[in-house]
Amino acid sequence: MTDPAELFGSRHWTDWGRAAATGGIDFVTLEDGLSAQTEQFTGVPGDPRKVVRGRLDPVVTAAILLSSTDIGEVVVSRNVTHSNPFHVATQLASLAAIAPGRVTFRPQVSANAGDATVVGGTPTPRLEPEDVRAPVRIAHRLRDLFRDAESQVRAIRSLWSTFPHESLGSGDEFWRSGLIAPRASDHHPAAGPLNVPLAVPPRVAALAHHALEPYRLAAAVADRVFLTPTAEHPVPDLVAAFRQIEELTPDATKTELYADIAVVLGDTDEGARARLAHLNHVTGAVWSTDTGIFTGTAAGLAEVVTGWRDQDGIAGVRLRPAVLDEDGQRIIRDLVPLIAAP
């Protein structure tokens, strides 16, 4: 069991970054949050005796991982609902300067109305309890925020082109000013140029729940999308729905599809179910997430993942371990070798 205080120090993250890189994990993701975590975005704080609240800034944590580990890629989430595109573009460009080609940006739409109170931003819709487990209802309430997020990401990508790395001079030439080209955005005033030269622009990934608005955002701006399969919405249905929206989205290019699932692993299926029951007992609530939860063995999960890859064209998976200490180790030790095997 990890001491909660360790979560706010660099050693915890570098240890896991190194373990992930050594164990064959392709990328890790870092989430953003402007306010302390609440129960399912309802605004009700979690019990501090059972749930750790608060998180490190993802840009700072990414800088530590990129500079101190060999992890191939870090996916950095940044809230775009209450952020200035120039600041986000500069932060991601700075990370890309540390580790060219190893940085991916995930724009995050604020689903927590409390975020606006924390930062003094424009008020956003508050999700009601009946909305939480219905992605379509969430997307409908946040429709305008998804549309604003699309213009934000377009502005950020435009800013990345304002100070290309080749603008830096050599010898007696400090820089080639003719290559620095500010570009105005239709919906945001930031035009640049950035103050960070950029050699390799970060890729863009999007988490897209099964609803029109997040699918349209992902199709419009993302290179990679994390789909959220459940029993009601299996992977084949999600792939077909997303590809259809992608075809109808202007200027969309082919997007790489990943499945995004939570996992509780055990030596046996019964052992995994017992672990989940214990976690529910300890926290005093049934664990529910915004995606499906796989409960079983690493071998069973490998069968599911390879089936998605071979039958449905899924390029990979993002796994959310229920307990990092246990499920993270099982993913690295037991699952990765099974997936990597020919």
Q: Which of 21-25, 67-71, 217-221, 281-285 has the lowest mean pLDDT?
A: 281-285
- Which backbone phi and psi does 237 adopt, to 5 degrees? -65, -40
User: What tokens were used for 246?
Assistant: 């992608």
Q: How confident is the model at residue 169 (pLDDT cuts 50, 70, 90)?
A: low
What is the dihedral sign for C-alpha 183, 185, 186, 189?
Answer: negative
Helix ranges (H only) for the chain are: 10-22, 58-68, 85-98, 114-119, 135-141, 143-160, 212-221, 235-248, 269-283, 298-312, 329-330, 336-340
What is the dihedral sign for C-alpha 17, 20, 23, 25?
Answer: negative
Does position 57 have pLDDT exceeding 60, yes or no?
Answer: yes
SS3 226: strand
Q: What local confidence, expressed as pLDDT, does residue 143 receive?
A: 83
Residue-averaged pLDDT of the chain: 87
Instruction: Answer with the residue of higher pLDDT: 123 or 304.
Output: 304
Tell me what the mean pLDDT of segment 188-207 comes to: 87
CA distance 161 to 181: 8
Percent of the chain with pLDDT strictly greater than 70:
83
Does position 2 have pLDDT exceeding 90, yes or no?
Answer: no
Helices (H) and strands (E) in the chain, counts: 12, 8
Instruction: Answer with the residue of higher pLDDT: 173 or 294.
Output: 294
Does position 73 have pLDDT exceeding 60, yes or no?
Answer: yes
Instruction: Answer with the residue of higher pLDDT: 32 or 190.
Output: 32
User: What tokens were used for 236?
Assistant: 């084949």
User: What tokens were used for 113?
Assistant: 């109305």
Q: Give the global pTM.
A: 0.89
Q: What residues does 46 pair with on adjacent strands?
A: none
User: What tokens were used for 266?
Assistant: 């055990």
Q: How confident is the model at residue 316 (pLDDT cuts 50, 70, 90)?
A: very high
Q: Looking at this protein, which amino acid is placed at residue 54?
A: G
Span 9-47, pLDDT tens digits: 899 999 999 999 999 999 999 998 776 766 554 455 556
Residues 6+ positions from 95 with CB-CB distance below 8 Å: 59, 62, 63, 66, 74, 76, 103, 202
